[in-house]
Structure 1
């Protein structure tokens, strides 16, 4: 096959999909949609099915209005429907952003460890990819971030808050510092206005935003003053709708218009639009599950911090997401394998020596605790190792 040379040694992205009793590896919401939510979605999809001989609305204004209403209720920030965009998962939203604002001769910057798909979006759009390190506690080193932006002059800056795989949320001051630095960038081949070229686009990926702890801000609060800011969200996590594949963003309508240029025709099916609107009609009930998952997460983090291995307490990153990153292990694969042999699948990802576990139901969390206790008692991973803060693999 005449494959592009840079793809020759690449493997498809994806976490292991194994048939085991306890699946805690891909940050899914463990609760299936309630029966009344399923009934509403089925009714909306049935209505849409009657018109499947026609193409769907390319710009889906009704769904965008529903998403804008949801964001106003969830965050207190009112975004015009014209400032909302949606696609097949936040992955496609991100790809639209890199297609519109990245490309040959341009650079995207992020801060590792972070979501392992980001460099793939850059690769697929021929965008140069640069990462700088986060601090040892996985927070954003603002000085290093600003210096990196000034040195690299990117057209896109990608931030995740809460960050995957660490769960770290960004304070508003850190996001504002990045926005200020990005505004000073002059993208070399960008249009000029008033004798100055356009600055970089800053994308804040808030896929796990609904799980953030009280008092943790959303970057949505900064939209009004920053036209080059895009805040992405998803229905996969909080809405228990990973199978729906609906991601979206909020931004200045001018930024959204740029994404309309690169989207594929009719990219969002009538069935997807109908199902998403059906789920959004039950947002209060679905978000009630989020509060329970936050409580389960905090209990799990506290329990993990009480475990010892190799004579030391386990490290657990502070998390505002529905997962926890914990370690460190000299042989993390052995720990992962030991859990798998006991019917519990978690994720071997993040910096060397660390593992990530999603928050499940109380029964699933209990099964994980039992399995990890047994694995640590067998000392399969040896002594705890000092590891460096590296890019997620």
Structure 2
């Protein structure tokens, strides 16, 4: 008998789609460190009494786990509508496993081969990856100085490229830059297709900041995407959602996988929303730590950008790789997002923020 020698298969050996060859998957460094401030998580644990209630709801759902979950996740959609307010109804809400799946389903329904998605770089690195995965052509528009995005600049890009979908990150990741309602209105007026406003960090905006949710009436092509990962400290639960015209949710039913939201996910999310006040109690503290980072980094000679999110992008870094490594040596992990001379740090607890700022002060004194 002749034994066959197994050949090691590489990605290049596989019959991968041509448009995916050479692509790089999304990924942030995952390291066990004392202070992890790299992926914009909410580092505050959820209140213990809330956790116990969520556990009880998940346990109840387990008793019928042999059956498929509610395909329409009706109770969850009602809870989400109640949380958002703005006169929204359950028919206008949709949910999925994280806002990334929300965006993926939207591109599956409205994008695809021969269609285009316009975004404004630098922005969330998953946008072009989701575009590639759905066969949608990605167009990267330019921003104004300091990564701002004016109505004039945004509308001009829409008029020039005539995209099928426009995605606006509000506030923008990775820069933290807030986005005005005027820019959203200008983009919608100039566009012929779907306009997505990604409000993943909306709860961290300054008090009184209006949401794009206020623009939904009369704008059937507008979608506002949200997540429970950030302000709700629910990153591990994977629950994203959107608000839009009911016709949009009908479109997403055509592309979603059957029973895509597990009974356990639905139960956990409903439990969290039932305690929204307690779950969001830490938001003000996170905003305080974000503002503290902006102030102290400015005093240390760096150039932090204004931020409406739970993170800060700061410039003035001579060697980003060296600073990243020096902080890592101190057991502090932040993010190099690929913008020359800039690094990004999440606002953590007071203790975590103090550790980061003390390390930055120590590094600055050596330079």
TM-score range, shorter chain: over 0.9
Work out which of the residue numbers 234, 245, 256 in structure 2 matches 1:241: 234
Q: What CA distance in whole angstroms lies between the structure 1 residues aligned with 2:114 and 2:25?
A: 25
Distance apart, 1:146 and its partner CA: 1.2
Secondary structure of residue in 2 paired with 1:357: strand
Count, aligned residues: 354
Structure 1 portions without partners, runs of 5+: 183-198, 309-313, 380-393
Tell me if 1:137 matches 2:130: no
Q: Contact between 2:25 and 2:129, CA under 8 Å: does it hold in 1? A: no
Shift of 1:228: 0.5
Instruction: Give the TM-score normalised by the residue count of structure 1.
Output: 0.88
Alpha-carbon RMSD:
1.0
Deviation at residue 350 of structure 1 after TM alignment: 4.8
Structure 2 residue aligned with 1:356: 344
| Distance in 2 separating the partners of 1:227 and 1:90 | 20
| Structure 1 residue 148 corresponds to structure 2 residue 119 | no
Q: Deviations over 1:326-374 (max 9, x none)?
A: 0132321111111111110000015221100000111101110111122
- The residue that corresponds to 2:111 in the other structure is 102
Deviation, 1:20, is: 0.9
* Residues 54 and 272 in structure 2, CA contact (< 8 A), matched pair in contact too: yes
Q: Which moved more, 1:8-17 or 1:235-244?
A: 8-17
Residue segments in structure 2 that go unaligned for 5+ positions in a row: 1-13
Q: Is the CA contact (8 Å cut-off) linking 2:228 and 2:240 kept in structure 1? A: yes
What does 1:1-393 align with in structure 2 at a 5 Å threshold? Answer: 1-72=14-85, 77-182=86-191, 199-308=192-301, 314-379=302-367
In structure 2, distance between residues paired with 1:223 and 1:8:
38
Displacement of 1:151: 1.7
Partners of 2:93 and 2:242 within 8 A in 1: yes
Change (3 A) 1:350 1:172: farther
Contact 1:171 1:216 in 2 (8 A): no
Contact 1:206 1:231 in 2 (8 A): yes
How far 1:141 sits from its partner (Å)? 3.0
What is the SS of the residue equivalent to 2:250? helix
Residues 186-216 of structure 1: per-residue CA shift (max 9 Å, x gap): xxxxxxxxxxxxx210000000000000232
CA–CA separation in structure 2 for the residues paired with 1:352 and 1:84: 39
Query: Contact between 1:323 and 1:358, CA under 8 Å: does it hold in 2?
Result: yes
